[in-house]
């Protein structure tokens, strides 16, 4: 049908002189510019052409069906792709949420650890302070007692030296002990 239409349109083409020269297409000299449909059909359209046109039409219909099926498959693929993209987006959102929750938990644990470190460091300073205070309070009575004993010892040495000046035996004993 399409081929017949093309032939018919070509047969009734008006001679413009620009494409085919001075003579119209499909006309002989002395004939009119238009051919009848019967002349056009007889001269150029045969049974072989008709069969070819029918086969071509069948092929075109099958091609159109294949194209339609392909378009449907493409649409289904696009929908599947959209669903897959949505699943991926949902999965990424879930992973991001888990990461955010994990970071919050980790930050909370670091804050707790930091607080614990402050408590431990403060405890260490308190312990050092207590040790210094305890040492000072423990050593103060010992130092006082030691000073008292040293003062008493000095007084006793003085007394013994004075006595040794009067007693030669005592003086000799003190020299032998290395106290004089």
Q: What is the mean pLDDT of the chain?
A: 81
Dmax over CA atoms of the chain, in Å, equals: 185
pLDDT digits (tens, 9 = 90+) for 102-130: 999 999 999 999 999 999 999 999 999 99
DSSP state of 24: P
pLDDT digits (tens, 9 = 90+) for 126-168: 999 999 898 888 888 888 999 999 999 999 888 888 888 888 8
Taking the C-alpha atoms of residue 98 and residue 11, their distance in angstroms, rounded to an integer, is 76
Residue 16 is predicted with a pLDDT of 40
Locate the domains of the chain by residue range.
Answer: 2-71
Backbone φ, ψ for residue 179 (5° rounding): -95, -15
Residues 6+ apart with CB under 8 A from 12: 34, 35
What dihedral angle (degrees, nearest 10) is formed by the CA atoms of 75, 77, 83, 89?
-120
Q: Is residue 109 classed exposed, middle or buried when 0-12, 13-18 and 19+ CB atoms within 10 A define those classes?
A: exposed
Q: Which residue has the higher pLDDT, 122 or 26?
A: 122
C-beta atoms surrounding 150 within 10 Å: 10
């Amino acid at each position: 049908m399409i081929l017949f239409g093309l032939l018919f349109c070509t047969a009734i083409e008006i001679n413009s002189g620009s494409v085919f020269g001075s003579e119209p297409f499909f006309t002989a000299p002395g004939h009119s510019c238009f051919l009848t449909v019967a002349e056009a059909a007889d001269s150029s359209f045969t049974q072989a052409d008709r069969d070819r046109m029918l086969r071509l039409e069948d092929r075109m219909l099958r091609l159109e069906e294949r194209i339609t099926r392909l378009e449907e498959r493409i649409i289904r693929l696009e929908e599947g792709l959209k669903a897959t993209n949505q699943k991926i987006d949902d999965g990424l959102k879930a992973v991001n949420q888990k990461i955010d929750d994990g970071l919050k938990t980790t930050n909370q644990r670091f804050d707790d650890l930091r607080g614990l470190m402050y408590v431990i460091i403060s405890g260490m300073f308190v312990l050092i302070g207590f040790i210094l205070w305890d040492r000072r309070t423990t050593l103060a009575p010992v130092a006082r007692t030691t000073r008292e004993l040293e003062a008493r010892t000095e007084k006793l040495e003085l007394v013994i030296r004075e006595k040794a000046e009067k007693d030669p035996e005592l003086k000799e004993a003190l020299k032998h002990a290395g106290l004089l």
